[in-house]
Amino acid sequence: MTGSDSAGASGASGASGAADAVARHTGSEPVDTRPLGGDAVAARLDARDGSHGRAGTVVAKRGAGPNAAAAEGAGLRWLAEPGVVPVPHVHGWDDDWLVLDYVEPGRPTPEGAEAFGRGLAALHLSGAPAFGCPPPDGPADAWIGLTGMSNRPHDDWPTFYARERIRPYVRAAVDQGLFDRDDAAVFDTVCDRLPELQPGDEPPARLHGDLWSGNVHWGEDGAVWLIDPAAHGGHRETDLAMMHLFGVPQLDRVLGAYAEAAAEAGRPLAERHEDRVPLHQLFPLLVHTVLFGGGYAGQALAAARRALRS
């Protein structure tokens, strides 16, 4: 079933809505369901039910808003396409629900971290049509967490990052009283100087887009699975900076394997990429500022000032 297949699920909610979505998108009635937290429900399928012979556990996730299920589903399929990092199989989505395979959690291992680093480098290098582009079949008006995110193609990274990833969230934070005029001027300076702050002419990378530790899922099979993306075409240093921001287990091993694989592929990371971590953390910090306020506004402003000193 493709992302364009949309069943009449509007308004369905809770376990019953999840069960209906699972039946529509897998062809099997769930044997039972259990909450996973938030708006996600796990549903167990049994091959003995005689429907389509499918067994196992799937997850039904209710989208945070319009296009959310489509954005995540299309993003997962796009990330899975190169076959270099494990991604849960997507069964389908509609206006309200995304249905995908459940991946049993496991523990971080050095071997899994190194395999993930190599796979992530290959995923990024698989490329994207443009900076800011959405995944195929993905909406331009997408989501990151509980807030909107614009996926619109741009010819160069500085223009994309300024227009779609910094200025809209700074404006929202100003409107909320979280930044004053002087604070906003710091971000304006960052936007004006982006071509010099991020030197080089890298092609667009295929990004997960929301690569904090909660979305780096360590599976029971020992592999790292990518979940909950905000996928788009962007700069690969952005995904790496996100892992630094909120911490990922075995991060040194992940990054070491990443750098080695990128160099072997003839696309080593640019010099002083570590110094640009604050620049690439601006987007997630601004998203958190808009969503949660508090100390995130100060962190975002501090990161902007560090970026200007790098």
Supply the pLDDT for residue 11.
38
Residues of the chain with pLDDT under 50: 1-12, 49-53
Return the domain boundaries, the chain. 14-101, 110-309
Asked if 217 and 105 touch (Cβ cutoff 8 Å), the reply is yes
As a CATH number, domain 110-309 is 3.90.1200.10
Q: Where are the beta strands (DSSP E) in the chain?
A: 32-37, 40-45, 56-62, 90-93, 97-101, 141-144, 147-150, 205-207, 216-218, 224-226, 232-234
Supply the pLDDT for residue 294.
84
Q: How far apart are CA 151 and CA 165, in angstroms?
A: 10
Alpha carbons within 13 angstroms on the beta-carbon side of residue 54 total: 19
Supply the pLDDT for residue 5.
37
CB atoms within 10 A of CB 225: 19
Of 20, 39, 94, 210, the active-site residue reads 210
Domain pair 14-101 / 110-309, same fold: no
276-289 pLDDT, tens digit per residue, is 999 999 999 999 99
Sequence-separated (6 or more) residues with CB below 8 Å from residue 64: 39, 143, 145, 146
20-47 pLDDT, tens digit per residue, is 999 999 999 899 899 988 789 999 997 5
14-101 has CATH 3.40.190.10 classification: no
Q: Is 239 a catalytic residue?
A: no
Amino acid (one-letter) located at 232:
H
Report if pTM > 0.85: yes
CB atoms within 10 A of CB 126: 15
